[in-house]
């Protein structure tokens, strides 16, 4: 299964749709949903995955990735579950941005101390 990840930028599926549309994608049955490409269906069959939700990580309306959850039962995820995952995604974006800013500050401090 290592050949499935990482996915190319042009790959189709829940992650691609979440990034493209900048909104959550809730798939009730990944084994039969036409939004899941055939290679993705092979993965979900192998891993016995049925429901998938993918939420974009958005920084200033720019998608920087996705966070996804899956389960073996078909039926998708509730609005409350998706809202909770969106909260996690929002917090992840804040943490990623904080790390970026911290590294930037470290670099500037290092440059100042070497002068």
Q: Note the pLDDT tens digit of each residue in 8-18.
A: 666 788 999 99
pLDDT of residue 112 exceeding 60 = yes
Q: What angle do CA 58, 94, 110 make, to 5 degrees?
A: 120
Domain of residue 68: give its range: 2-114
pLDDT band at 3 (very low <50, low <70, confident <90, very high): low
Q: What digits encode the pLDDT tens for the residues 26-63?
A: 999 999 999 998 888 888 999 999 999 999 999 998 99
* b/e per residue 59-98 (b: at least 16 CB within 10 A): eeeebebbbbebeeeeebbeeebbeebbeebeeebeeeee
The domain tally of the chain equals: 1
Cis peptide before 6 (omega within 30 of 0): yes
Whether residue 6 has pLDDT greater than 70: no
CATH of the domain at 60: 3.30.450.40
């Amino acid at each position: 299964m290592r050949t499935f990840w990482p996915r190319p930028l042009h790959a189709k599926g829940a992650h691609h749709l979440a990034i493209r549309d900048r909104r959550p994608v809730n798939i009730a049955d990944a084994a039969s949903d036409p939004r899941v490409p055939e290679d993705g269906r092979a993965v979900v069959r192998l891993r016995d995955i049925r429901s998938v939700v993918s939420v974009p990580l958005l920084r200033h309306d720019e998608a920087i990735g996705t966070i996804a959850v899956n389960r073996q039962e078909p039926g998708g995820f509730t609005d409350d579950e998706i809202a909770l995952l969106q909260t996690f995604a929002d917090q992840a974006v804040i943490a990623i941005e904080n790390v970026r800013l911290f590294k930037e500050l470290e670099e500037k401090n290092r440059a100042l101390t070497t002068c």
